[in-house]
Amino acid sequence: MTRTRHVVRDAAQVRSRIGLAGQQAAVDELLTGRQNREMVGRLYHLPGRAARRRAGELLERFALTPAADRIAKTYSGGMCRRLDLAASLVATPPVLFLDEPTTGLDPASRSQMWEAAVMSVRIALLGSGFVATFYMQGLRDVPGQKVIVNYSRTADRAEAFARRWGIPHWTTDMEEEAAARPDVDLVLIALPNDQHLEATRMAIRSGKHVVCTKPLGRSGAEAAEMLALVERVGVLHGYAETGVFSPAVVRVRELIEAGGIGRICTMRAREAHSGPHAPHFWDPAQSGGGALMDMGCHTFETFRYFLGKEDRPVECLAWGDLLVRRDRTPAEDNAVAMVRFASGALGVADVSWTALGGLDLRNEVYGDRGAAFTDVTHGTPVRAFTRSGGGYLIEKADAESGWVFPVPDEARVYGSQSEMRHFVECVAAGRSPRETYTDGLVINRIMDACYRSMTSKRWEPLEDTP
């Protein structure tokens, strides 16, 4: 078995997860270095543009760019070894077999070879707050990547964040010293909502791949502009919706795909806590809305993930009101929204910034042949009683004593680790992620309709969605 693949029954899938570097066996001496690597990309069925981009990335990674357009016959032995090793990494295999790849190389060249083989995606992380911390926790165990620079608006925060996570560079210049750095492959946006559009502009001006936290924009119009930008330039783009990478949610999707739930009729999602951690969340001018904007994006994309994205959302009915936190925000601190899909399925989202007792994350799916439920915060396998407190317990915890229910590994339970691994692997392999700016636009369109419905008190149709 390789992960969940059977080596006989799923032989093709197993082979696709294994790379082999066999002492220059993948080097055609009559082709240039660039042509060699583009040819391997096409053999892996990468589109022409993706094959060329991946070839360029690997040639740069193995310090072969100056010789990229020379025929391989003129390469030294060490250069041919690097070119051969680059071929084994075109598809970013989780398993790599190397046949004496550094034989005959001096110690410095060996070190450079191993570093190039292990580290493939270099990341500029924009932001140093709560979301950025979760992303670093998610990246901690992801191979083949390195965050090489952190941006924050203040030098103190940028330096402190870089020191905490071992990031070699930090800056307060978002574009020139972060997004536009020539050694950056991926720009990871973990900034307040009002900065997502400009950060995307900076990334695509330098032709960088980009992943943006949720929500994509503060409105459908803003999200549509962001999608148009990345599509025009042709970079890879990812929408970091952690909820659909949560192992519990992924497992429910597997049950649905296996027919265990049948035709989905209704879905419910609850996300609630006692309020955001940072001031910008409370300001609708910066965030685009209140509790629904903050957490509804999670629930809506989970509905789409359960149903399958071919089942388009068509209309919404929503209520939202400011019930408690008048001291913090003019936006809604509680909301309930219903989304009807083309299949007739209905999703009901319940979100709150006034719920005490810690973060509440739950999903329910009801079909004509079964039902499924997830609860990753109240259903934790750890329960403890303490009089003096036990340190950090869980996101948005409201108490540190008495009976407490700490989550063992929030980055994995919430989906941050799987999400970051997926985006890194996609950038390394030159393939589009399963969550993109297109999905972010759909979610913003849903939220636009919900906010219209809060005012009109009736079902509101969605504007055109991709």
Q: Domain 11-116 has what CATH class?
A: alpha beta
DSSP H helical segments within 119-154, as ranges? Answer: 130-139
d(CA 84, CA 105) in angstroms, rounded, equals 15
Q: What is the pLDDT, as a whole number, of residue 266? A: 98
Residue ranges per structural domain of the chain = 11-116, 121-243, 247-411+435-461
| Residue 404, pLDDT score | 72
**CA end-to-end distance (rounded Å), the chain:** 38
Query: Using CA atoms, how far apart are residues 212 and 351, in angstroms rounded to an integer?
Result: 22
Coil vs helix vs strand at 112 = helix
Let me know: does 241 contact 439? Beta carbons within 8 Å: yes
Q: Which segments in the chain show pLDDT lower than 70?
A: 1-5, 13, 15-17, 19-26, 91-94, 96-119, 389-400
Give the H or E element holding residue 208. Answer: none
H helix or E strand, kind and range, residue 227: helix 220-233
* Residue 35 burial (CB count, 10 A): 16
- Same fold flag, 11-116 and 121-243: yes
Containing H/E element for 169? Answer: strand 169-171
pLDDT of residue 17: 67
Neighbours of 119 (CB within 10 A): 15
| Residue 91 half-sphere exposure toward CB, CA atoms < 13 A | 22
Residue for token digits 């799923």? Answer: 10
Q: In this structure, are residues 445 and 463 in contact, taking their beta carbons and an 8 Å threshold?
A: yes
CB neighbourhood size of 182 (10 A): 7
Q: What residues have CB less than 8 Å from 318, skipping those under 6 apart?
A: 292, 335, 336, 337, 338, 449, 450, 451, 453, 454
Separation in Å, CA 425 to CA 39, 90, 107, 186: 20, 11, 29, 11
The position carrying tokens 């005490």 is 356
Would you state the CATH architecture of domain 247-411+435-461?
Answer: 2-Layer Sandwich (3.30)
Angle between helices 220-233 and 437-456 (to 10 degrees): 170
Residue 88 CB coordination number (10 Å): 22
Q: Which residue has the tokens 């936006």?
A: 331
CA-CA distance, 57 to 241, in Å (whole number)? 27
Side-chain half-sphere exposure of 223, counting CA atoms within 13 A: 31
| CA dist 169 → 146, 150, 151 (Å) | 12, 6, 9
Listing DSSP states for 150-199 in one string gives EE-SSHHHHHHHHHHHT-SEEES-TIIIIIT-TT--EEEE-S-GGGHHHH
Side chain identity, residue 320 = G
User: What pLDDT is attached to residue 3?
Assistant: 43
Which pair of tokens denotes residue 397? 């915890």
What is the rounded CA–CA span in Å between residue 338 and residue 267?
10
φ/ψ (deg, to 5) at 261: -100, -20
According to CATH, the topology of domain 121-243 is Rossmann fold (3.40.50)
Q: How far apart are CA 434 and CA 413, in angstroms?
A: 19
